[in-house]
Structure 1
């Protein structure tokens, strides 16, 4: 029997690698000789570097950069065995780097992301995979662009600092001084949202509140992103205002697509492609996947949906084993999920459930494997 195990992380509890290990233990309790292929995954957010390094091999490079508030922080990127750099925005501009009381979205920027990219470019790297999830910023990527050599000016020709607040006065973008090796770089951006830059479905309105955007700041920041988009369209002839995905990561998607000419792709599709997932699926009897909580958002390009759709093309059953399964998940059956399972054994507290995730996973997967084998025989 061959089983492919491809879960996302259970956020706050277990990494994708640990989840995959628990699932494998559950399978082997029933079928010790099963061929188990572990492919821990991510959809472009936190954990993307570790997942691709585990699946493909490579090394991690640590670099001191600046966090969203300009403080030194030790970040990293991965160099995969075939030479591609994989980088997470969250390690340099993520919510986890600042406390709730420190959040200052008018001034926080993505400079650290640009510094990571510049470090890899200086090392001769030209192929990039960049995950956008988990940002703490709403700066349209102005910090990243500045760190890569772009400069910003007001209507009187005075240089502006790379902050969201400065975007309100932006009149001109000069990209002539950007890192020369960008011209030879191929950048693919793992993006799991299609939000435009501005408006009721834009970066500020939808994702701003979790970053500290208050109701009074919302129209100010939205206007700042709109001004940035207008100048990009005029100076660089690229319409990022309504470009799908431009609102990802506080407008960082717009900077990548409009200024750096990167390709924005569905995060999970990019990750599965890099992992050669379709090849791994060949001759599999069934697939195990899962996440911390499976809900109505899962069907919109999350890891579980991506895994299920790939397996469906090869006619392979998919069992989704998650920490919790909410209402509104029936569409996943059409995507290729055969059955949904929650690992929680009964009424338990959140703390108890989080502390026992590994054991619950082993037990649940053991039972799923028993049922599968009974049905096959």
Structure 2
């Protein structure tokens, strides 16, 4: 049988590639004769660059040294040159929340992402893909745009400091020196559909995980509203609130297109073709909840499996906190297998291997029972 393993990263514990390898090792222990294909995925957040580097033959990493991180400390990072001349940039690798010494919702910024984009532009990329998940900031993309030449000034004409907390003082925007986007345009990969403003916007929904208290959330939202008043665009567009409004900033100033990240990465990774002759696809993530089927890797895998040949889907998650949707036929919860969330996180690879072996035994038993019921079924 052919088994495709296509998980997202189990954030905070193990990356997508390591998760796929552990699940595959466990499955092969239980069913050593099966053909196991690993296709680790991402949704526009952390790991997107790695997933696309693996998926696209001839892709080359181009280092960028000393870019400003979200708190100003230098970060060594890279962008990806694709064989067709396009470039891929990952926000999480230079402006991501894990790069902060401590969360600072008001001062964290995206200037480093702008630095990496500028490097890709300087290398002559024909088009640009920007994966924006995992940000530390709520600056509306002003850090990116400032690094690309835009100027954000207060009422006295002084340039604002980086960070969403400065937007309350925004009085004027000068885009005359803003870099020109590449001729093939810009795509923004995101895993959320939130607008920029309001109770479902960037500050209200994602501010708390970036360290913002209730007062700071209100200030950040008001600052983003001020930015939208001056910059224009479509702050209510689905996905505009992604990465603290970075998607909004790039979409407005650069006419970038906001697209779902997970389906795009899955397509590049060759998942549709891999599912054509698969008997089962295993996907997973750190926490499965009500949002997992909307813009996330699990949802993208499930949709492709449904649209294809009706390939059954198995889910592995650090914890399962929502009912399983139609199409997911079996699952493994690492917290339950390990006995606690702490135990599961402390040795995620071990429990992923056990989950893979458990699913192999379960799937093999189910297939055996099916064969006994109807010997005409495919073995």
Contact kept, 8 Å, 1:194 with 1:244, in 2: the verdict is yes
Match of 1:61 in 2: 62
C-alpha displacement of 1:372: 2.5
C-alpha displacement of 1:96: 1.2
Large movers: runs of 4+ above 6 Å? none
Residue 326 of structure 2 is aligned to residue 356 of structure 1 = no
Residue 188 of structure 2 is aligned to residue 197 of structure 1 = no
What is the alpha-carbon distance in structure 1 between the residues aligned to residue 150 and residue 23 of structure 2?
47
Q: How does 1:1-377 map to 2 (within 5 A)?
A: 1-57=1-57, 58-63=59-64, 64-100=66-102, 103-155=103-155, 157-180=157-180, 182-233=181-232, 238=233, 240-314=234-308, 315-326=310-321, 328-330=322-324, 332-333=325-326, 336-344=327-335, 346=337, 348-376=339-367, 377=371
Is the alpha carbon distance of 1:348 and 1:247 closer, same or farther for their aligned partners in structure 2, counting shifts above 3 Å? same
User: Secondary structure in 1 aligned to 2:215?
Assistant: coil
Task: Give CA deviations for 1:124-157 in whole Å, capped at 9, x if unaligned.
Answer: 1132222211111111111110101112234565
Is the alpha carbon distance of 1:183 and 1:340 closer, same or farther for their aligned partners in structure 2, counting shifts above 3 Å? same
Give the TM-score normalised by structure 1: 0.90
What is the alpha-carbon distance in structure 2 between the residues aligned to residue 183 and residue 176 of structure 1?
17
Contact kept, 8 Å, 2:318 with 2:341, in 1: the verdict is no
What is the alpha-carbon distance in structure 1 between the residues aligned to residue 244 and residue 303 of structure 2?
29
What is the alpha-carbon distance in structure 1 between the residues aligned to residue 19 and residue 323 of structure 2?
21
User: Secondary structure in 2 aligned to 1:292?
Assistant: strand
Pick which of 248-257 and 364-373 moved more. 364-373
C-alpha displacement of 1:183: 4.6
C-alpha displacement of 1:274: 1.9
What is the alpha-carbon distance in structure 1 between the residues aligned to residue 35 and residue 143 of structure 2?
47
Task: Give CA deviations for 1:322-355 in whole Å, capped at 9, x if unaligned.
Answer: 22222x223x22xx22222224565634333223
Contact kept, 8 Å, 2:46 with 2:92, in 1: the verdict is yes
Contact kept, 8 Å, 2:338 with 2:351, in 1: the verdict is no
What is the alpha-carbon distance in structure 1 between the residues aligned to residue 143 and residue 38 of structure 2?
37
Is the alpha carbon distance of 1:30 and 1:214 closer, same or farther for their aligned partners in structure 2, counting shifts above 3 Å? closer
What is the alpha-carbon distance in structure 2 between the residues aligned to residue 150 and residue 346 of structure 1?
52
C-alpha displacement of 1:119: 0.2
Contact kept, 8 Å, 1:107 with 1:164, in 2: the verdict is yes
Task: Give CA deviations for 1:223-254 in whole Å, capped at 9, x if unaligned.
Answer: 11111101112xxxx2x331221111111111
C-alpha displacement of 1:46: 0.8
C-alpha displacement of 1:165: 3.9
What is the alpha-carbon distance in structure 2 between the residues aligned to residue 7 and residue 54 of structure 1?
14
Aligned length in residues: 365
Structure 1 alignment gaps of length 5 or more: none
C-alpha displacement of 1:161: 4.1
C-alpha displacement of 1:289: 0.9
C-alpha displacement of 1:159: 4.2
